[in-house]
């Protein structure tokens, strides 16, 4: 077993030796089974102290799309994750990014959602200027009437 590139191996190997030797002192192990025991202990020790590798609900590359974003923890799908991860998993955006090793460029809101919000702002602005145009047009249309009435009366007075 070549583990020379693993910096943890000296400690781990002595730990494995310690556990295995104390095990074989109390239990009879067939010589052929010894490597199996060592391997089991070694693998168990390797996984100790490490957080269980998180298994994302969807592939990270598929978790942020144009129309929705997907929670990597539970597969929840929505327009923005910020509220969901806080309510369901007690995470803020930084915790969530760290948990899944997401770059700061990774979107936690759907692209379309962000676009819609700025579109709403634009539409609000447009609606306001449209109202102004309509009011002005009505004022222009109403003005000629009294003038025309006056013009019609004037020729009758003249002769
Ligand atoms: Zn979730």
Query: CA torsion, points 95, 96, 98, 102, in degrees to nearest 10?
Result: -150
Three-class secondary structure of residue 58 per DSSP: coil
Q: What is the pLDDT along the chain (159 residues), one digit of tens a residue?
A: 554 455 555 688 888 999 999 999 998 888 889 889 999 888 888 777 665 557 899 999 899 999 999 999 999 999 999 999 999 999 999 999 999 999 888 989 998 888 888 888 888 887 776 655 444 444 444 455 555 545 555 555 556
Tell how far the Cα of 147 is from the centroid of ligand 1, in angstroms.
70
Tell how far the Cα of 65 is from the centroid of ligand 1, in angstroms.
16
Tell how far the Cα of 112 is from the centroid of ligand 1, in angstroms.
20
Report the alpha-carbon distance of residue 81 to residue 70 in Å, rounded.
8
As residues whose CB is below 5 A from the ion ligand 1, the structure lists 71, 73-74, 76, 88
Tell how far the Cα of 77 is from the centroid of ligand 1, in angstroms.
8
pTM above 0.85, yes or no: no
Tell how far the Cα of 92 is from the centroid of ligand 1, in angstroms.
12
DSSP string, 48-97: TTSPPPP--SS-GGGSB-SS-EE-TTT--EESBSHHHHHHHH---HHHHH
Tell how far the Cα of 115 is from the centroid of ligand 1, in angstroms.
23
Tell how far the Cα of 76 is from the centroid of ligand 1, in angstroms.
5
Tell how far the Cα of 109 is from the centroid of ligand 1, in angstroms.
14
């Amino acid at each position: 077993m070549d583990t020379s590139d693993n910096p943890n191996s000296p400690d781990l190997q002595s730990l494995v030796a310690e556990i295995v030797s104390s095990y074989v002192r109390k239990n009879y192990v067939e010589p052929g089974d010894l490597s199996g025991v060592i391997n089991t202990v070694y693998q168990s020790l390797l996984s100790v102290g490490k957080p269980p590798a998180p298994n994302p609900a969807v592939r990270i590359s598929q978790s942020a799309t144009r129309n929705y974003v997907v929670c990597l923890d539970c597969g929840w799908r929505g327009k923005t994750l910020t509220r969901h991860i806080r309510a369901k998993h007690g995470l803020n955006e930084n915790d969530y990014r760290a948990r899944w090793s997401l770059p700061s460029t990774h979107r936690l809101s759907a692209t379309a959602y962000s676009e819609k919000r700025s579109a709403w702002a634009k539409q609000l602005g447009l609606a306001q200027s449209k109202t102004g145009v309509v009011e002005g047009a009505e004022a222009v249309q109403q003005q000629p009437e009294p003038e025309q009435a006056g013009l019609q009366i004037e020729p009758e007075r003249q002769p």
